[in-house]
Protein backbone atom coordinates (compact mmCIF):
# COMPACT_ATOMS: atom_id res chain seq x y z
CA UNK A 1 0.00 0.00 0.00
CA UNK A 2 1.27 3.45 -0.81
CA UNK A 3 1.98 5.42 2.36
CA UNK A 4 0.23 8.54 1.13
CA UNK A 5 -3.49 8.98 1.01
CA UNK A 6 -4.83 10.22 -2.29
CA UNK A 7 -5.75 13.62 -0.86
CA UNK A 8 -2.26 14.18 0.62
CA UNK A 9 -0.71 13.05 -2.65
CA UNK A 10 -2.83 15.49 -4.64
CA UNK A 11 -2.22 18.35 -2.23
CA UNK A 12 1.55 17.82 -2.32
CA UNK A 13 1.51 17.65 -6.09
CA UNK A 14 -0.47 20.87 -6.24
CA UNK A 15 1.90 22.66 -3.85
CA UNK A 16 5.04 21.42 -5.54
CA UNK A 17 3.81 22.49 -8.95
CA UNK A 18 2.79 25.89 -7.57
CA UNK A 19 6.20 26.31 -5.93
CA UNK A 20 7.84 25.35 -9.21
CA UNK A 21 5.82 27.95 -11.11
CA UNK A 22 6.63 30.60 -8.50
CA UNK A 23 10.32 29.87 -8.70
CA UNK A 24 10.44 29.85 -12.48
CA UNK A 25 8.41 33.06 -12.54
CA UNK A 26 10.81 34.75 -10.12
CA UNK A 27 13.84 33.63 -12.12
CA UNK A 28 12.22 34.83 -15.32
CA UNK A 29 11.32 38.20 -13.78
CA UNK A 30 14.87 38.70 -12.55
CA UNK A 31 16.37 37.67 -15.87
CA UNK A 32 14.11 40.11 -17.69
CA UNK A 33 14.94 42.92 -15.25
CA UNK A 34 18.67 42.30 -15.75
CA UNK A 35 18.29 43.12 -19.42
CA UNK A 36 17.34 46.71 -18.57
CA UNK A 37 20.07 49.37 -18.67
CA UNK A 38 19.59 50.58 -15.08
CA UNK A 39 19.72 47.64 -12.71
CA UNK A 40 18.79 48.63 -9.16
CA UNK A 41 21.43 46.65 -7.37
CA UNK A 42 21.69 49.06 -4.43
CA UNK A 43 24.27 51.64 -3.30
CA UNK A 44 27.06 50.01 -5.30
CA UNK A 45 25.32 50.62 -8.61
CA UNK A 46 26.20 54.31 -8.91
CA UNK A 47 29.84 53.71 -7.98
CA UNK A 48 30.33 51.59 -11.03
CA UNK A 49 32.14 54.36 -12.95
CA UNK A 50 34.97 54.32 -10.40
CA UNK A 51 35.99 50.73 -10.94
CA UNK A 52 33.72 48.99 -13.38
CA UNK A 53 35.42 45.67 -13.27
CA UNK A 54 35.41 45.02 -9.54
CA UNK A 55 31.81 46.08 -9.15
CA UNK A 56 30.72 44.05 -12.12
CA UNK A 57 32.44 41.02 -10.67
CA UNK A 58 30.72 41.48 -7.33
CA UNK A 59 27.31 41.85 -8.94
CA UNK A 60 28.00 38.88 -11.16
CA UNK A 61 28.97 36.78 -8.18
CA UNK A 62 25.73 37.66 -6.38
CA UNK A 63 23.68 36.62 -9.37
CA UNK A 64 25.51 33.35 -9.74
CA UNK A 65 24.87 32.63 -6.08
CA UNK A 66 21.15 33.32 -6.43
CA UNK A 67 20.96 31.19 -9.54
CA UNK A 68 22.60 28.29 -7.73
CA UNK A 69 20.15 28.59 -4.87
CA UNK A 70 17.25 28.64 -7.29
CA UNK A 71 18.66 25.68 -9.17
CA UNK A 72 18.95 23.73 -5.91
CA UNK A 73 15.40 24.59 -4.92
CA UNK A 74 14.13 23.60 -8.33
CA UNK A 75 16.03 20.34 -8.07
CA UNK A 76 14.44 19.63 -4.67
CA UNK A 77 11.01 20.25 -6.14
CA UNK A 78 11.69 18.02 -9.13
CA UNK A 79 12.98 15.25 -6.89
CA UNK A 80 9.87 15.51 -4.71
CA UNK A 81 7.59 15.45 -7.76
CA UNK A 82 9.46 12.46 -9.13
CA UNK A 83 9.03 10.62 -5.84
CA UNK A 84 5.34 11.46 -5.79
CA UNK A 85 4.98 9.89 -9.24
CA UNK A 86 7.17 6.91 -8.45
CA UNK A 87 5.41 6.27 -5.13
CA UNK A 88 8.40 6.92 -2.88
CA UNK A 89 7.10 10.13 -1.32
CA UNK A 90 6.26 10.16 2.37
CA UNK A 91 9.04 7.75 3.35
CA UNK A 92 12.06 8.98 5.28
CA UNK A 93 15.16 8.53 3.11
CA UNK A 94 17.28 7.98 6.16
CA UNK A 95 15.35 5.55 8.36
CA UNK A 96 12.56 4.37 6.04
CA UNK A 97 9.74 5.31 8.36
CA UNK A 98 6.66 7.19 7.22
CA UNK A 99 6.80 10.96 7.35
CA UNK A 100 3.69 12.46 8.98
CA UNK A 101 1.18 14.03 6.57
CA UNK A 102 1.36 17.37 8.38
CA UNK A 103 5.11 17.57 7.80
CA UNK A 104 4.73 16.64 4.15
CA UNK A 105 2.07 19.25 3.61
CA UNK A 106 4.03 21.96 5.44
CA UNK A 107 7.17 21.23 3.39
CA UNK A 108 6.42 19.03 0.38
CA UNK A 109 10.12 18.75 -0.47
CA UNK A 110 11.12 17.09 2.82
CA UNK A 111 12.94 13.78 2.42
CA UNK A 112 13.38 12.77 6.03
CA UNK A 113 11.38 12.52 9.22
CA UNK A 114 11.83 15.11 11.97
CA UNK A 115 14.21 12.94 14.00
CA UNK A 116 16.49 12.25 11.06
CA UNK A 117 16.47 15.87 9.99
CA UNK A 118 17.51 16.93 13.52
CA UNK A 119 20.31 14.39 13.48
CA UNK A 120 21.47 15.42 9.99
CA UNK A 121 21.44 19.09 10.95
CA UNK A 122 23.55 18.39 14.03
CA UNK A 123 26.02 16.43 11.94
CA UNK A 124 26.18 19.29 9.44
CA UNK A 125 26.82 21.83 12.20
CA UNK A 126 29.66 19.79 13.63
CA UNK A 127 31.59 20.02 10.38
CA UNK A 128 30.47 16.98 8.44
CA UNK A 129 28.48 19.07 6.01
CA UNK A 130 29.55 20.46 2.66
CA UNK A 131 32.64 22.66 2.85
CA UNK A 132 32.16 26.38 2.33
| Interacting residues toward Zn ion by CB under 5 A | 92, 94-95, 113, 116
In terms of DSSP H, where are the helices of the chain? 6-34, 52-86, 101-106, 114-123
From the CB of 100, what's the least distance to Zn ion, in Å? 11
Q: Which is nearer to Zn ion, 8 or 92 (CB)?
A: 92
From the CB of 103, what's the least distance to Zn ion, in Å? 11
Other C-beta atoms lying within 10 Å of the C-beta of residue 49: 7
Q: Which is nearer to Zn ion, 94 or 107 (CB)?
A: 94
The rounded distance, in Å, linking the Cα atoms of 100 and 40 is 43
From the CB of 93, what's the least distance to Zn ion, in Å? 8
Closest by alpha carbon to 112, among 89, 128, 132?
89
Q: Which is nearer to Zn ion, 20 or 103 (CB)?
A: 103
Amino acid sequence: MPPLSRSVHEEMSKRLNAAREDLLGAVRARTTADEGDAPSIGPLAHEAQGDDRNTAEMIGHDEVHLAEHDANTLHEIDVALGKLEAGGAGICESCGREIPDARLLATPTVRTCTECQDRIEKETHTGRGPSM
